[in-house]
Amino acid sequence: MKILVEEEAFSYYLTQEIIKKYPYEVIPTYEDFRWKAWASQAELVSLGKRFLFLIRFKGRFFRDCPGTKNYLCCGYKIFHFAEGCLFDCTYCILQLYLNRPGIKLWANVVEDGFQELERVLNNARKEKRVLRIGTGEFADSMVLEPFGGVSEKLINFWETLNPFAVLELKTKAFIKENYFKKFKSDPKIIFAWSLNTPFIINTEEHGTSSLEQRIESARYAIKHGFTVAFHFDPIIFYENAEAEYPQVLEKVLNAIPWEKIAWISLGALRYPKELKYIAEERFPQTSIYAYEFIEGLDLKKRYFIDLRKKLFQSLAKIIKEVEDKITFYFCMEGERIWEEVLGKPLKSSNQVCQLLDQVAYRLCQS
């Protein structure tokens, strides 16, 4: 990977830390970098994974998760430290949303981002309001650790500030045990893994760690005093999906102490219609876009509700056996799915938020 540093990003702490370890090149600005003018967007997405840009970010680091009022959202907050991912999943929405190619790490995250985050956390404490904050929305939380170590810095920041908030670090990476040994135990730090069946991991999640490695990493996290979470998102329909997703959930529940799991989310494949054309150009072998979809209330393509229910209900029997010990929730679904699959008559996003805030509150009191 080639590292390119914007001139105005050169003096920041993170930049200086990275260029001591890796070769780099200084460029005037990101906008001055010349991509192949004839390349399609699909080609630029692939090409961009070869370049890491260190950029001075001028927007807000702390923001709401981009949900939609048409489905029930969980009130998640995002600390925005980077854009892009070294992994290459066929369904990744970043292929479409990030119309600026390349992987971008905000050089001023320590000086400006942490300062903004500290203000937010201090205000939340004054208001006696618990926060759930994550970094895995626009970038994998862990895959860039060898370069900037931003997650490590955030964990240390949490130890220093001791905020009334949980930090969720979501990833598809294998994290070795030595990484966890560097920190003091803290249940407010939640290491979370996106999970899928071995079939989907092997065919659609290119460059990611295996299911066994993700579960092994979770066991390391627990061993060293952290909390874990899991996200079955996206759940993708294929011939054996209804048999294999429950097997993955059983494997997790057999390997991980239930009381150490903050929450488990469920979300079926959904995507903006334009993503299909970019993804199929980049991954001609994928078949996940070949099924019948309907346009949802958020204008994203979704499976018909009967198929979504069928996929979720394949997990429901197991969920019912442990739901008094583990909090399950749906990502971007409506009242009907909550009621008919989990038997929970949730009517508003605020109720989903309260459900997860209760877990966060308990972890902050630990």
pLDDT given for residue 285 in this prediction: 97
- Residue 47 contacts residue 36 (beta carbons within 8 Å): yes
Global pTM reads: 0.97
Long-range contacts of range 82-86, CB-CB < 8 Å, 24 or more positions apart? 82/106, 82/138, 82/139, 82/144, 82/148, 82/150, 83/138, 83/139, 84/48, 84/49, 84/138, 84/139, 85/139, 85/140, 85/143, 86/1, 86/49, 86/140, 86/143, 86/144, 86/207
Q: Total domain count for the chain?
A: 1
Give the whole-angstrom CA distance, residue 196 versus residue 201: 6
Q: Under DSSP, is residue 175 helix (H, G, I), strand (E, B) or coil? A: coil
- What is the domain extent for residue 192? 2-365
Give the whole-angstrom CA distance, residue 91 versus residue 93: 6
- Residue 82 contacts residue 105 (beta carbons within 8 Å): yes
* pLDDT per residue as tens digits for the range 245-263: 999 999 999 999 999 999 9
* pLDDT per residue as tens digits for the range 102-119: 999 999 999 999 999 999
pLDDT given for residue 99 in this prediction: 67
Distance of CA 33 to the CA centre of its chain: 28
- Residue 85 contacts residue 94 (beta carbons within 8 Å): yes
For the chain, the first-to-last Cα distance in angstroms comes to 41
Q: How many residues does the chain have?
A: 366
Instruction: Kindly report whether the peptide bond that precedes residue 23 is cis, defined as omega within 30 degrees of 0.
Output: no
Q: Under DSSP, is residue 230 helix (H, G, I), strand (E, B) or coil? A: strand
> What's 230's domain CATH number?
3.80.30.30
pLDDT values of the chain reduced to their tens digit, one per residue, 366 residues: 999 999 999 999 999 999 999 999 999 999 999 887 767 889 999 999 999 999 999 999 999 998 877 899 999 999 999 999 999 999 999 998 766 899 999 999 999 999 999 999 999 999 999 999 999 899 999 999 999 999 999 999 999 999 999 999 999 999 999 999 999 999 999 999 999 999 999 999 999 999 999 999 999 999 999 999 999 999 999 999 999 999 999 999 999 999 999 999 999 999 999 999 999 999 999 999 999 999 999 999 999 999 999 999 999 999 999 999 999 999 999 999 999 999 999 999 999 999 999 999 999 998
Q: Which two tokens stand for residue 362?
A: 């308990």
pLDDT given for residue 136 in this prediction: 86
Q: Under DSSP, is residue 235 helix (H, G, I), strand (E, B) or coil? A: strand
Give the whole-angstrom CA distance, residue 6 versus residue 54: 6
- Residue 241 contacts residue 232 (beta carbons within 8 Å): no
Q: Which two tokens stand for residue 180?
A: 């966890």
Angle between helices 114-126 and 150-161 (to 10 degrees): 30
Q: Are strands 131-134 and 88-89 parallel, antiparallel or unpaired?
A: unpaired
